[in-house]
Amino acid sequence: MLVECYDSKGAEVYEMIVRQVLQDLQIARSVKNMQIFVDPREPVFIIAVEIEKTTNPVLIEDLADLKYDNSEKKVYIRIKDETYLPDLMKILWELEGREKISQPTRFEVIIDNPEVELQGITIYDPAKNLKRKIYDAIFRILPEGFRVIKDISKGNIVAMVCTDELLQDDWIEKGRLMVNELKDK
């Protein structure tokens, strides 16, 4: 982690804050690299966080067997792994509506008159979930009042340029340089 600031004591304090936030959110191991530029005189805060690779998304086929019954106009879902059952139910309710879905047992879900093809649907995406946590961390790390934000994220790098005034082009360019430096490492 690199914290760039004209004030070395301020940089140390920010480093401590960042470590504490990452630890609190239990994502410290998921951050591969990070660069921060802060200058309260301007005022600008730029952060770029490179995220470690995550596991593959969990598809419906990974946790359940699907059986389409065209004569009854139903889909029978046999649960093999309950780990992501709450995520599955939430997605099914969004796609088909609660009124069409029944769950007679823990391991069985039935959809009446399905309208959506379920094959290949992502039930849980670790990369998306990690990015959401990284954004949460960044918003906790931002200096108070810095609510003018430009998101310059790219791929597995989450990056933002923040201020409490108007964003300046040279700040945005510095942020993009930081993103490129992380990509090239």
Q: Which residues pair with residue 148 across a beta bridge?
A: 163
pLDDT for 6 equals: 87
Q: How far apart are CA 176 and CA 173, in angstroms?
A: 5
Which two tokens mark 81? Answer: 């792994």
Roughly what angle, to the nearest 10 degrees, separates helices 126-141 and 8-24? 140
**Contact indicator for 64, 121 with CB cutoff of 8 Å:** no
- CA dihedral of residues 114, 84, 65, 78 (deg, nearest 10): -80
Mean pLDDT, 10 residues at a time, over the chain (185 residues)? 87 93 95 94 95 95 94 94 94 95 95 92 95 96 93 96 95 96 86
pTM: 0.83
